[in-house]
Structure 1
Amino acid sequence: MARVSQEHLDARRRQILDGAAICFARNGFHATSMQDVLKEVDLSAGAVYRYFSGKEELIAAVVGEVLASVRGAFEEASRQSPPLPPDELLTVVLGRTLAARENLTFEGEPAFPRLVVQVWAETLRNKELAVVLHDGYAGVRAAWARIVEGYQDAGMMRADVHPDHVARTMIAAAVGFLAQQALFGSAPVDVLRDGLRALMSMSDERTATGGSQLG
């Protein structure tokens, strides 16, 4: 009997993971059955169970990939020196993240943003996944805090704000944009870039005049 190549094994595992990801994006983790996954990937139960023991293992694998994709893009951005300004940096990070999963679609829309939202929902139910998400989020925050420190060291950003506070805000912009994509339909990442660029262009008239205009 001819040996199955590693490339074939990897491709089959990828096929199963992508099919499961589409199912999870469509119906959520809890409502998706293994039968749904089998139908999506058009494989027998034996073929799928050769790679994954059941739905929980599939969920763990898909969630792990989602978190690794987001974290990897953020950490790669943190290694750039000097760092790109926030508007460009977030555009690059989200662009790479979405492009890496552009083959996954749901009703003509990218499935990845929906999958991210489903991951958040699942971690509210699954304590083990909640720990994984918490660790992944902590890693992203640390990476982006280093970026902020780079801004401050280069004189690009005021130094009297804690780097973690800025990091949380940039992460909020990124995940909020993904949530909007999932809820309201896809939009180019240039939309986020332009919005951030406009916000960054504002001048603080209160500082210029020595006090608040609201008092």
Structure 2
Amino acid sequence: MARVSQEHLDARRRQILDGAAICFARNGFHATSMQDVLKEVDLSAGAVYRYFSGKDELIAAIVGEVLVQVRDGFEEAARSTPPPSPDLLVASVLSRVLATKESLTVDGRPAFPGLVVQVWAETIRNEELAAVLHEGYGAVREAWTRIVRAHQDAGTIRSDVPPEYVARTMMAAAMGFLAQQALFGPAPTEILRDGLRALMSAPDEAGAN
């Protein structure tokens, strides 16, 4: 029997993850069965269970993969000198993540933003998923905090605010923009970039008195 190549195994795993993501985005986690996933990817139960033991493992794999993409994007930015400004940083990394998922659609609309919102809701009841998300976001926050600190050292961001506060606000902007896309439909990340840029240029009314 010929050995199955690693390329084939990776492609099959990708097929399963993408199919599961579409199912979850279409009907939600609880209304989606493994039988729905099998039908979507057109594979036997044995072929799918070779890679994933069930729905929870599929969900965790999808979440973990996205968090790695986000973390890697910001880690790369954190290594650049000087790092990009927050408006460019948030928009560029979010745009990159959305681009990798643009092939996932439900009824012609991007599936990824809605899937992300469902993941957030699922963490309320799923402790294992909450742990995965907490670890992933913690890594992202650390990378963002280093970037903010570098800007503060360079004098391009005010230094009287703890860098973690700024990092968490940047995360909130990205997460909120994804939520808007899930609720109201696709929108270019340039909107987020330009909006953040405008807020960054706002005068400090408290400091003016």
The corresponding residue for 2:64 is 64
- Whole-angstrom distance in 2 between the partners of 1:21 and 1:206: 46
Query: Amino acid of the residue matched to residue 145 of structure 2?
Result: A
Q: Secondary structure at the match of 2:123?
A: helix
Q: Say whether the 8 Å CA contact 2:66–2:97 is kept in structure 1.
A: no
The corresponding residue for 1:98 is 98
Query: Amino acid of the residue matched to residue 31 of structure 2?
Result: A
The corresponding residue for 1:141 is 141
Query: Amino acid of the residue matched to residue 114 of structure 1?
Result: G
Query: Amino acid of the residue matched to residue 143 of structure 1?
Result: A
Question: Please, what TM-score do these two structures have when normalized by structure 2?
Answer: 0.94
**C-alpha deviation, 1:56, in angstroms:** 2.2
- Whole-angstrom distance in 2 between the partners of 1:76 and 1:124: 31
Q: How does 1:1-215 map to 2 (within 5 A)?
A: 1-205=1-205, 207-208=207-208, 211=209
**Unmatched runs of 5 consecutive residues or more in structure 1:** none
- Whole-angstrom distance in 1 between the partners of 2:153 and 2:113: 34
List 4+ stretches of structure 1 deviating above 6 A.
none
- Whole-angstrom distance in 2 between the partners of 1:79 and 1:155: 18
RMSD: 1.4
CA deviation map 1:128-153 (0-9, x unaligned): 11111111111111111101101111
CA deviation map 1:148-178 (0-9, x unaligned): 1011111101111100111110110011101
Q: Which moved more, 1:142-151 or 1:74-83?
A: 74-83
Q: Secondary structure at the match of 1:124?
A: coil
- Whole-angstrom distance in 2 between the partners of 1:73 and 1:30: 31
CA deviation map 1:84-122 (0-9, x unaligned): 111111111111111122221122222121121111111
**C-alpha deviation, 1:30, in angstroms:** 1.9
- Whole-angstrom distance in 1 between the partners of 2:205 and 2:6: 63
**C-alpha deviation, 1:205, in angstroms:** 4.8
Q: Say whether the 8 Å CA contact 1:74–1:144 is kept in structure 2.
A: yes
Q: Which moved more, 1:115-124 or 1:1-10?
A: 1-10
**C-alpha deviation, 1:13, in angstroms:** 1.0
- Whole-angstrom distance in 1 between the partners of 2:21 and 2:43: 15
